[in-house]
Amino acid sequence: MKGVGSVSTKQLAKNAARYQTDISKVSLLNALANGGPLVWVSALIMGFGNLMAGQVIKALLFLAIEVAFVICMVIPNGGLHWLGLLPSLGDRVTEEVWNEELFIYEYVQGDNSQQILLYAVATLVAIVAFVVIWRSSVRSGFVALNIKKSGKKAPTFVQDVKALFDENIHKLLMILPTACIAIFTILPLLYMMSMAFTSDSKETDNLVLFDWVGIKNFFALFNSNNAIGKQFGSVLSWTLIWAFFATFLNFFLGTFMAMIIQRPSTRFKGMWRTILSLTIAVPQFVSLMVINSMLQPDGIINRMLLDAHLITEKLPFLTNATWARVLVLVVNLWVGIPYTIMQVTGILQNIPAEQYEAARIDGANVFQIFFKITLPYMLFVMTPYLITQFTGNINNFNVIFCNTFSVIYYSYI
């Protein structure tokens, strides 16, 4: 039974939320629900709550951001213009108009669907960024007003700046990386993803004006009855095969070489590691182009084999797709194994020797020791690296292009 003047737990929580002064613990809904009229006004006029709390400079900065955003949206050819064209991606074609005064044809620029899509996506990203800043403005105003209500003085702009180099240093350090990710990663990714749902195509000459087609392109991509589907299937299968073998052959063969060098009976360990690491010192594209010249139909390898009468005709290293694919896998081993050796050597040196001694006492052979001790320990450490390598090999361009850029023809399986 409650006594006279007692307060319920719910009411205590509500009062605590109302006078919250830690911005990291204040949500937007909490600020709007407990902030009162001043916070509600700050939701429309950014920085109003900070202004009422005495934070004039911060309030003016928030207001300047809001004014700049509104101007960028409403000016001619601003954000609203591009968003309005986004559903149609434009429909005005470039026209040829006769000028009676100059007696020449003049061209009236039409719509460019790529430009419309790019600017519209950029506008959407800018809107998301503005919403994040607007949310921060409302929460900041709510906290500043609570500090003022508690009888204290809200932090000045100088104090806020000093805090960015002290307890809020993580926020300062994240500004530039976040901006770069948004501009150079998220924006291009969203743009290219959006292009996949349009009729943009070189085959149909829809490079300037195109329309939304939904998932029609994906049906064509996975339809093995048309040319695009057949080519995509062949390219995708080879890409996955290449990524798998390029990753795991490097890993296992590099591990094997590192274990041989690491054996106590192996002499001159530093010399072997240095020799195997020479491929790292030479720029990769230089080495690959030298290998390409060596493997040409009239290259030194074919010439030496012919002169030694080991072959009767030139080997199609680069003129046959299958030979070329095997070639790039082998060359990638030559390029990648030294990197694996360097990483695996450090891991092998950190595996406790007592585990190997205990395994030998228990009668374990070499294979059992490798699969029960060495490999699990290495995979535990190197799994993130293998995932990164697999993803990188899917996008690997240097090894394949620099080795096969002079292929006369391609045949797809």
Query: What pTM did the predictor assign?
Result: 0.71
Residue 411 lies in a domain: no
From the list 218, 197, 240, the residue with the least C-alpha distance to 394 is 240
pLDDT tens for 40-91 read: 999 999 999 999 998 999 999 999 999 999 999 999 989 999 999 999 888 8
Q: What is the mean pLDDT of the chain?
A: 84
Q: Identify whether residues 244 and 145 lie together within a single domain.
A: no
Distances, alpha carbon 102 to alpha carbons 20, 96, 97, 337, in Å: 72, 14, 11, 69
**What domain range includes position 291?**
224-404
Q: Identify whether residues 273 and 152 lie together within a single domain.
A: no
The CATH number given to whatever domain includes residue 273 is 1.10.3720.10
Partner residues linked to 107 by β-bridges: 96
Query: Sorting pLDDT into bands at 50, 70 and 90, what band is 6?
Result: very low
Residue 294 lies in a domain: yes
pLDDT tens for 351-396 read: 888 888 899 898 988 889 888 888 898 888 888 889 998 998 888 8
Q: Identify whether residues 324 and 256 lie together within a single domain.
A: yes
What is the count of structural domains for the chain? 2
Q: Identify whether residues 191 and 229 lie together within a single domain.
A: no
Q: Compare 160 and 108 and report the one with higher pLDDT.
A: 160
Q: Identify whether residues 256 and 370 lie together within a single domain.
A: yes
Q: Indicate whether 403 pLDDT > 70.
A: yes
What stretch of H or E contains 43?
A: helix 37-44
In one-letter notation, the amino acid at residue 267 is R
Residue 413 lies in a domain: no
**Can you tell me the distance from the alpha carbon of 333 to that of 245, in angstroms, rounded to the nearest whole number?**
10
Q: Identify whether residues 237 and 187 lie together within a single domain.
A: no
CA angle 199, 201, 202 (to 5 degrees): 160
**Can you tell me the distance from the alpha carbon of 155 to that of 22, in angstroms, rounded to the nearest whole number?**
12
| Residue carrying structure tokens 């503005």 | 130
pLDDT tens for 292-339 read: 888 888 889 999 999 988 888 888 888 888 888 898 899 888 888 888
From the list 37, 392, 114, the residue with the least C-alpha distance to 246 is 392
Cβ(341)–Cβ(261) below 8 Å: yes
Residue 369 lies in a domain: yes
Q: Identify whether residues 182 and 258 lie together within a single domain.
A: no
Question: Which of 157, 174, 195 is the last residue in one of the domains?
Answer: 195
